[in-house]
Structure 1
Amino acid sequence: MSELAQLRLLLDSSSDVHWLIDCASGRLLYLSAAHAALGFSAEEAQQHADKLLAQLPARLARWQDGDASRLRLRRELVLERADGSSLTVEIESVLVLDKKGQPLQLAGVVRDLSRQLAERAEWETQQKRFASMLSHEFRTPLSTIDGAVQRLEMTSANADEATRKRYRKIQVAVDRLIAMIDDYLSPERLASIGRKRQANEISPEALLETVGEAARIRRNAIKVEVFGLPQWLRCDPQGMRLCLDILLDNAIKYTAPDTAIELVGKKASEGGVEFSVIDHGSALPEEEIARLGERGFRGRAAEGIAGSGLGLYMARAVAEAHGGSLTAQNLSESGKKFRIWLPIAV
């Protein structure tokens, strides 16, 4: 079997549809047999190919005019079948150039996106369920606190000013948390994180400083350090602040009052950026590290401390919605580090 025949056999065995077009004549030179597996007859495949061929002259003209973006294109299309059904596909094509840099052929591939779309829909469904559960878990204790504070305020006519001031501070904090739930933890809002394109409008350094300043109300010894971060960052600002708030809250909650905590932002060695919360308290049990971020999981250190085991789960969900990750590790000297990694170009 010749190398050309082997190549054709390989392409025909693929689940993707491969094709090749001659730029000079606009003739379809090759179309792999995978179109049948996608539910298209040879005639239907040819009809869709003819539509692509009709767009080739305009693409070549733009390339000749110096538009380098025409070299490689990728787009999603909905292709109609003869039986009335449709299929969402991704079509990627590239101009094959000769030695003089002139377009010789157009090579491309058609990929079935059905599985990816189904997985995306399932992920969004899970996110909505998670957000509904999370909203309920937060609202229940907050409603109890809200009712108790209101009763205290109504019966505090004889209380001193300092006591009434504390009641007002509690009420303001409860109102803020309820507003955050209404604004942020709705199923639709949480499911949209990472799906909508965010503007480059958040300063990562300002984000870290804001989060650190808010946490210093509870722990003064919080140090913010920034190394080589970009001036602007594309992310969901509220989501990223929520992640950092959760990590700092845990660091404060599970360390002694005099333990130093560091909030660090820098370029990641593997590319992208990382935000880390580092404390110098006790280490994590090695057998628990892999389970951190599981819904409802609480380690041995959480015994006797109020909580639901949802904080790290929520933080990880938001990080992963950005295409990133949340990991934890013990430090060789002392303490531990929780790290948010985001795949953002620097």
Structure 2
Amino acid sequence: MTRSLRALLVEDNPDDRVLVERELRRGGFEVQSIRVQTAEELRAALRNEPWDIILSDYRLPGFDAPAVLGVVHDSGLDIPVIVVSGSVGEWEGVEVMKAGARDYFPKSLLTRLPAAVSRELEEARIRHERARGERDRALLANASEVLARSLDFQETLDHVVHLPVPELADWCAVYVSEDGKALRLAALAHEDPEWVRRGFEADRLFPLDPGAASGPAYVWRSGESQLVSDVPSSRLEVLARSPEHLRALLGMGLRSAIHVPLLGRARRLGVMTLGITGSRQGFTPVDLSVAQELARRAALALENARLYREAQEAIRLRDEFLAVAAHELRTPLTTLGLQLGTLVQRARRESSSDLVGRLERGLRQVRRLGTLVETLLDVSRLSTGRLPLSLERVDLGELVGEVLERFEAEAQAVGCALKLEVAPGVVGQWDRMRVEQGVSSLVSNALKFGPHQPVEVRVVPGAEVARVVVEDRGIGIPEDQLERIFERFGRAVSSRSYGGLGLGLYLTRRAAEAHGGRVWAEQRPGGGARFTLELPLRAASPAAEVPA
């Protein structure tokens, strides 16, 4: 069976080239070769084309076998070198073998050449497969690690295109579709930044043909991967839509390509294209398998990034709606509250106690609705990461007492006795409204989840901090929910059973953090829950950064 062989001959005698090629053909090889005589010619040949083997004379004018081996070593290519020379003795043979030659023998024994070449090709194949296996395992392991670093869609795209360059390909591109139809070049990687610039420019001038019979557009339509082991210029001439387009394609120097679809859970996300432009061997079916596995992992990361981007956009739109709705509701609620307050005062003077009671209940509901609106406004402020504070001298005991007075009617309605224990002289620089808001949230929470049971509130001084402790004997909080209840819209129970927005404790924690304090929950021995709001006695920054 005839085997194809690409042989690079370092030889100054044309007749010796003829002898070498003739012997290789006798050994069953179909030889394609070029002859070089200098280091510059050798470097150019290694740079421009792939080679199976290098056959070198020992001594040429101004050049010799050790120098040849040095050039091959510097190129980084694993190409077996066999020294064939009429002047190779034992000493020279040992020298070249130490320098990296795979074999040596005199030209008088050329009949040995085909067997030596066959042996070296097989050993090179085994080395290449072993190295490729190690490379592929390292590439995929690195891909899993790199793709987990970010949920930003464009950043993930940039990670994807850089993963196979230069280990697997000379360049990598990812095409995505915004409308589910047309593809656009979204990311491109190459070791040469100028090449990347020209690639984007070529895509801008000559966008992909949606109806192309091959390439990214075809893979996008069909969902099937495509391997192009060799890209002859004739193929580029068929693909080109104009002479300018052909020049751009030829300027890329494409030798081999792989196109793989990026398949999400429910739809195709895009196409990943890998290309070879240098002198390395074209892509193989093994490379296609690696590219498909890389694309699978990349598609998962890109879909997660896309879903995260959509979720962030949904959150932004929700926050915008909450802010607008809260601002629109605030004015009529303020007016309604003032009107009801006026009617309550007049009813106390002129009407029955039954009417007064009804008006007061209505006023309490309006105030409650106003509190919910302010809560929504605070959430929209927190989405920017800042919660402004207006600091003043506050007696914490007096503040907590005022809060409990406002909750007295609600506590009676649910059958809870409010108990307050206050240490005198607990004074600090705090934002009165934010602290009231936090204490009110803790007391309201205790009344909601501990009806018909006493609620105990304590103001406890410390050397550097002051604490407000609220205890109830209600349903308690599961251990695994003690942190979750402080998240935005976080709950430990069903909203259908207990209502509310799930924002009170979230805002309490953010207000505490804005002051440089904290708030936490724990299970109360004997049943129920204990919440502790801790505030520093030192002054906080008037406008604190708060993670939203």
TM-score (norm 1): 0.48
Structure number with higher helix proportion: 2
TM-score (norm 2): 0.32
> Looking at both structures, which has the greater relative contact order when contacts are Cα pairs under 8 Å and sequence separation is at least 6?
1
Larger radius of gyration: 2
